[in-house]
Amino acid sequence: MKVELCFYASLASLLPEYAVNNACFVELAENTTVRDVLRQFAVPEDIPKLVFLNGIHAREDEVLKPGDRVAVFPPVAGG
């Protein structure tokens, strides 16, 4: 199934080389979870992150469907 991945800031470098503007479409197996995607693309497990599935905060055990959009943001700091 095809899904869109969007990795932001320091995580963008984990996307495939063909990614444009921090996003790309990838083919994944049926029943792939958000956690599976994070592992497949080597997102460090030890850093806090915000994950959104189709614009809604997602749990890592959620199963993806064709056409889904997964967006991952690293920790943000500032003041």
Q: How many residues does the chain have?
A: 79
pTM of the model: 0.91
% residues pLDDT > 70 (the chain) = 96
Q: Is residue 32 part of a domain?
A: yes
Cβ–Cβ under 8 Å, residues 1 and 28: yes
% residues pLDDT > 90 (the chain) = 91
- CA 9/CA 76 separation, integer angstroms: 9
pLDDT at 76 (0 to 100)? 76
CATH number of residue 11's parent domain:
3.10.20.30
Q: Is the pLDDT of residue 79 over 70?
A: no
Q: Is residue 17 part of a domain?
A: yes
- CA 19/CA 40 separation, integer angstroms: 16
Q: Is the pLDDT of residue 27 over 90?
A: yes
Q: Is residue 27 part of a domain?
A: yes
pLDDT tens digits along 50-70? 999 999 999 999 999 999 999
